[in-house]
Amino acid sequence: MQYLTSDEVRALELKANSIRQSIIEMLTEAGSGHTAGPLGMADVFTLLYFGILKHDPLNPDWEERDRVVLSNGHICPVLYATLAHAGYFEMEELLTLRKFGSRLQGHPHREALPGIETSSGPLGSGLSQAVGMALAERMDNPYSSKFFYCLTGDGELNEGQIWEAVMLAGKEKLNNLIVIVDRNGIQIDGYTKDVMPLEPLAEKFEAFNFDVQEVDGHSMRALNDAIGKAQAVYSQPSLIIAHTIPSKGVDVFERDFRWHGNPPGKGPEDRVSRDKQSAVALEKLRTLAGTIEPQDIS
């Protein structure tokens, strides 16, 4: 695990802010798509691609790369934006999101873009894919140093297939599997506590032989430390419960489940009229970027 300096933290936070601005621009141009989850997970994706992963944008099929499996594929705007910022394809292509013939589909397609490891859309299936990939890697190469990161949503944990995958991962002691749950407390129909309560979430995964950590999903240092500890776990798969704020960075959108599946211009109007939602979001993010300062190392 590499300690993050104050300047590195600031650089990551600024990159996450830029990725959030790209997400707003993409969604506005598309006129459809999900806002809350992509904005909320921008810090996690930024840290992975700019601080954690073994990967090469110029050689996306590099055999020794780590794998990222996005199970809740509807938050793909954050994956697309992160890949573009990392150099996998040109930034201009982001504005083709969800358009006819675009490589940036509403859910990721493995063969459409470099850097996409699996197709996703049906909720619950991504974790099974990641477990299979991690197990196959261990069978083929017991001394492999690759890690398989599976990103899921907390609403997605309603799916029974998730728990089948969790059981298998625990049984096989897949220490090369790191699952990160976006614990933002919302899903398309409302708040998770009302739709299908999940707590005690950590204890449920621990019962299936997972090593579990809970962190602030917007703290680069906390996330970095948690992933480093997960990489050091010897005989268990790991779960990181990342507590995030849906629509993070745009305070007039934050924590409102109605932004789960709506883009700027089609969201709820009780705080910002639809004709101003995109401009307000971008202005707030640009203002926020100017306030990001180096964190105290102590």
Q: What pLDDT sits at residue 292?
A: 85
Q: What pLDDT sits at residue 32?
A: 97
The mean pLDDT of the chain is: 96
Q: What pLDDT sits at residue 220?
A: 98
Q: Please write the tens of the pLDDT for every residue from 98-109.
A: 999 999 999 999
Return all residues near 194 (Cβ < 8 A) that are at least 6 apart: none
Q: What pLDDT sits at residue 297?
A: 36
CATH number of 6-289: 3.40.50.970
Query: Residue 3 — pLDDT band, cuts 50, 70, 90?
Result: confident
Name the residue among 258, 259, 247 with its Cα closest to residue 288. 247
Q: What pLDDT sits at residue 294?
A: 59
Query: Is 9 exposed, middle or buried (CB count within 10 Å of its CB: 0-12, 13-18, 19+)?
Result: buried
For the cut 60, the answer to whether the pLDDT of residue 60 exceeds it is yes
Count CA atoms closer than 13 A to 7's CA, side-chain side: 0
| Strand-strand pairing, 238-243 and 190-191 | unpaired
Task: Provide the strand spans (E) within the chain.
Answer: 67-70, 148-153, 177-183, 186-187, 190-191, 211-216, 238-243
Over residues 136-151, the mean pLDDT reads 97
Domain ranges of the chain: 6-289
Name the residue among 40, 49, 66, 39 with its Cα closest to residue 12. 49
Over residues 214-233, the mean pLDDT reads 98
Q: What is the pTM of this model?
A: 0.96
